[in-house]
Amino acid sequence: MLAATDGPLLGVNAWGDEDPEPTDEPEAFIDGCDELATPEEVLTKLEKLAADLVLATLRSDPPATPVPAAAISFTVANVRRDGAVLVSSDGPLAAHRVPLSATTTLSLRDPNKRRAERYARIWTMLASSHAHLRRNEKVTQRGLYYLMSSGAHTSSLFPDPATVNSALLDSVSLVAVSRRSLGVVAAPRGEVGGAMSIREGEDAPWRSLWDESRQISGDIAAIARWEFRGDFRYVLVVEKHSVFHRLFAEERVHTRLPCVVVTAKGFPDLATRAFLKRLQLTHPHVPFLGLVDWNPSGVLILGTYRAGGRTSSAVLESSRYALELKWLGVRSADLATNPARIPLTDLDRAKARTMLRADGARLDGDTAGDESTDASTERLQSARARELTAMCATGFKAEIESLCPGSCGGEGRSLSDYVVEKILRGDYAD
C-alpha cells in the first residue's frame, strides 16, 4: 500500500516532464506487479490511494505529492451517509465506499501544464478502472480509448490511443497490478484451427476446430480454463493471417498432416502467447514450429514467441509464456531457386544489426567487447545470427508466399506442399 508519507506519489519515472515511450503491445506489465490481484483487492488499493491523496492535500505539513497542496481541490457531492458502504474500520479513519451515484471532482492547478495533464490522465484512468471493477465489467484497451476520447470531460486529455496507453502504463506502475487486474483486457486477435477441439471450462461443450477456426480470447484468465483434446502431432505457428487462411481454410493442411495452425496476425499479443504456452504445457511432446517471412521482422516475431519482448525501459513483458518453438521457415536454404526477393530497406538493416549485436556478433565499425572471440563465434553460429547475416550479405528479403506459386494460381508447389515436406523431413532449426 502507498502511504501519504512515502515520498512522491507516482515515483520518479511517472513525474518526468516527458511522456514515456508508448508501446503498441496489447499487453505489457510492470516488473514485479501482482497479476493475480482480485477485483476487491484492486478496489481497496485504488481507494487507499485516493484517501492518501486527500490526506496529503489536507495536511498542514509538506505534502507527499509533487503537486503543491494548494493546487488541488477534492470534492465529493451527492453522498448520503446511509448510502455509503463501509469498507474497513481499521486505522484512524473509517473508510466508506462512495456509491456510483456520487459526483467526485478532482481539480488541479499547476504551472507545469504537461505534468498537470499527466496527473489528470492517471486519476481519470484510475477512476474509470474503479467504475468498471465495481460493476464487475471488463473493457478492451481499444474500448478504453473510445470511452476516454468521447467523454465530455476527458476527450481533451486523451487525444489519441498512445496517450491512453501511456496513462494506463502509469496506472499499472502506480497500483502495482496488471492491466488485466485493472479490468482492461486485450481485444481478441489470435486465431486457431485444425485437428483439435476446445472447451472453455468443465461445464462448456467441446467445440471442434476441424472445419471452422475460432478466435483466441484476449482474456488470459479465461484461457487458463480452456481444455484441449485431439490427435494432432504438430502445432504450426504462422506469422500472417493470409498464410493461416491459405493453409487452414483453403488448402486444409490439417487433412494431410495432423496439426493445429495458430496465428497472432503479426507480432504476437500476450493472449495468443498464453494460449500457446498452455497448449504446450498440456502437450509437451508435440513439436511447435514457426513459419515467418524471411526478413528481420519475421526473425523478431519468432524471438518474441520464444522469449517475450521489451517495449520500453520501464515496461517488461512477462517471460512466463516463452515457447519452445522450432524454426520451420522461411530460411535461407529455402530460397536457393527463388527469384522473388525484395531489397532490404534501411530499417530492415538496422533491425538486423541490432539483433546480430544482441547475439554477440561484431559488425563493421564495432569495437571489441568483453566476450572472447570463441564465445562470440559460437553465438554467431545460432540459426538466427546465420539467417540475419545471410540477409545482410545478399541485401534481400523474401515473403512466405513467394516460395509457393502454386498457392497463387501459378505452376509449382503449394504452400501446404512446402509445409508438409519440410515437417516430414524434420527440416527445422532451433
Cell of 286: 508435440
Q: How far, in Å, are 1, 70, 97, 363, 367 from residue 107 at the CA level?
A: 24, 11, 20, 54, 54
The CATH number of 11-185 is 1.10.10.10
Cell of 238: 504462422
Q: Work out whether the CA dihedral 418, 424, 427, 428 comes out positive or negative.
A: positive
CATH 1.10.10.10 range(s) for the chain read 11-185
Cis peptide before 262 (omega within 30 of 0): no
Nearest partner of 192 among 251, 236, 255, judged by Cα: 236
CATH 3.40.1360.10 range(s) for the chain read 191-341+398-425
Average pLDDT over residues 178-192: 83
Mean pLDDT of the chain: 74
For the stretch 320-379, pLDDT in tens is 788 999 999 899 888 876 667 889 999 999 999 998 888 776 555 544 444 444 443 343
Q: Which one of 146, 234, 305, 321 is the catalytic residue?
A: 146
Cα distance between residue 299 and residue 356, in whole Å: 11
Nearest partner of 205 among 197, 217, 194, 213, judged by Cα: 197
Quickly tell me which residue has 570463441 as its cell: 374
DSSP for residue 26: S
Q: What is the pLDDT of residue 363?
A: 59
343 sits in which H/E element: strand 342-343
Cα distance between residue 211 and residue 423, in whole Å: 22
Cα distance between residue 212 and residue 193, in whole Å: 7
Its CATH class, for the domain covering 191-341+398-425, is: alpha beta
- Verify whether residue 305 is a known catalytic residue: no
**Alpha helices per DSSP H over 216-295:** 220-223, 241-245, 270-282
> What angle is formed at CA 123 by the lines to CA 118 and CA 126, rounded to 5 degrees?
125
The residue that leads in pLDDT, 411 or 304, is: 304
Q: What is the pTM of this model?
A: 0.67
